[in-house]
Amino acid sequence: MKILVTGAAGFIGFSVSKRLAEQDIEVVGYDSINDYYDPRLKFDRLQVLNEFKNFTFVHADLCDNEKLNETFREHKFDRVINLAAQPGVRYSLQNPKAYVDSNVVGFLNVLEACRNHRIAHLVFASSSSVYGSNEQMPFSEHHNTDHPVSLYAATKKANELMAHAYSHLYNIPVTGLRFFTVYGPWGRPDMAPFLFTKAILEGQPIKVFNNGLLKRDFTYIDDIVEGVLRITETIPEPGSDYDKKNPDPAFSHAPYVIYNIGNNKPVELMRFIEILEEKTGKEAVKEMMPMQPGDVLATYADIDRLAKCADFRPDTPLEIGLERFVDWFKKYYDN
- Alpha helices per DSSP H over 238-295: 269-280
Q: How many beta carbons lie within 10 A of that of residue 97, not counting itself?
A: 9
Q: What are the strands, taking DSSP E only, across 60-134? A: 79-82, 122-127
Q: What is the DSSP letter of 211?
A: G
The closest of 28, 36, 27 to 101, measured between CA atoms, is 36
The closest of 214, 118, 135 to 171, measured between CA atoms, is 118
Phi-psi region of 177 (alpha: psi -120 to 50; beta: other; left: phi over 0): beta
Catalytic, 152? Answer yes
Q: What is the DSSP letter of 294?
A: T
Q: What is the DSSP letter of 291?
A: P
Catalytic residue among 30, 37, 152, 300: 152
| Catalytic (active-site) positions | 152
